Structure 1
Amino acid sequence: MAQKIKLSTIAEALGLSTATVSLALRDSPLVADVTRDRIKEKAVELGYIYNRRAASLRT
């Protein structure tokens, strides 16, 4: 089974916090457009897939 890509994997690759990555993937206005684009590009490159079940743990 393939390894699941986590927010922390993307954060480490870009030298950012997992909070920043999370906000960027949710299109938060708190993250600069350039940073958001870098994060989204890296997520696609690494094969990140949004996990609705994990996200539901927040609520």
Structure 2
Amino acid sequence: MRDALYMPALVATRFNPDLKVKYTALRDAGKPAKVAIVAGMRKLIEMANALVKADRKWASKTA
């Protein structure tokens, strides 16, 4: 399961504004890149579980 989330987390840390902020904050705090990406993986799982629990679809934030 962990391997299946690595690439989506890597892409999300670059293009999803919320995950990018979290990734950058961890990197600025001195965490290794892999640790920051794994944190992004966990965040993706938490978001997916919340969407399933609420029975709703992903809605991107509008500016």
**Pairwise TM-score range, normalised by the shorter structure:** 0.3 to 0.5
Greater CA radius of gyration, 1 or 2?
A: 2
The structure richer in helix per residue is 2
TM-score (norm 1): 0.33
TM-score (norm 2): 0.31
